[in-house]
Amino acid sequence: MLERLVSRNDQLLHGSGSWLGKSLGPFHGVREPGISLEKYIERIYKYTSCSPSCFVVGFVYIDRVLHKYPDSLLVSLNVHRLLLTSVLVASKILDDVHYNNAFYARVGGVSITELNRLEIELLFLLDFGVTVSSRVFESYCQHLEKEVVRCNGAAAIERPATTNTATDDVTEISVQDTHISSSPSQLVD
């Protein structure tokens, strides 16, 4: 579902030649990461061992930001960072035991400094509204499960029985840019 939205928005962005949404600017990279969104989600899930609920709540956070700032587009240049940050914040809220920001940064392929900055940005975009009611959570679960069934024919989202992954086994990736601009107007050529 996110991939379809990102693909559509990438086409809109390239067609218009301008970047309208300034609120997601801090999440915006200079170039598209070399890992698909699907593989990135799998990577976060595999290495962080966060609960599946974190992905649902992370999606809620992304949806809240996009509704609050309708001129912002979720595109291939910002979706990875926004997803990583949303899942990180959700894991801190939902999971009793979770990895620290340094580990999430390593898994997500960004620097610890950047992830710390993105976490603060997301919290301010959400006005620190990180609670999700059980009704909203259930609604998003149902919606996401319908999407999974529609796309994959699977009836439910399941978590593998074992998720014990040693922290030293994390393969390095990078979604980091060598030249990240802090000015949103410089993010799109």
DSSP, res 100: -
- Full residue range of the structural domain in which residue 103 is found: 2-8+27-129
pLDDT at res. 30: 82
Question: Which of 86-90, 104-108, 142-146 has the lowest average pLDDT?
Answer: 142-146
Examine residue 19 and state whether it is found in any structural domain, yes or no: no
pLDDT at res. 169: 57
Q: What is the pLDDT of residues 94-111, one digit of tens each?
A: 999 999 999 999 999 999
Q: Where does the pLDDT of residue 148 fall: very low under 50, low under 70, confident under 90, or very high at 90 and above?
A: confident
Examine residue 117 and state whether it is found in any structural domain, yes or no: yes
Greatest Cα-to-Cα distance within the chain, rounded to the nearest angstrom: 46
Measured distance CA(135)–CA(166) in Å, rounded? 35
Q: How far is CA 166 from the centre of its chain?
A: 23
* Short-list 57, 55, 36, 58, CA closest to 45: 55
Q: What is the pTM of this model?
A: 0.76
Examine residue 160 and state whether it is found in any structural domain, yes or no: no
pLDDT at res. 22: 61
Examine residue 48 and state whether it is found in any structural domain, yes or no: yes
Q: Is 170 helix (H, G, I), strand (E, B) or coil?
A: coil
Higher-pLDDT residue of 22, 145: 145
Look at the chain and report how many structural domains it folds into. Answer: 1
Examine residue 71 and state whether it is found in any structural domain, yes or no: yes
Examine residue 15 and state whether it is found in any structural domain, yes or no: no
| 102: CATH | 1.10.472.10
Examine residue 115 and state whether it is found in any structural domain, yes or no: yes
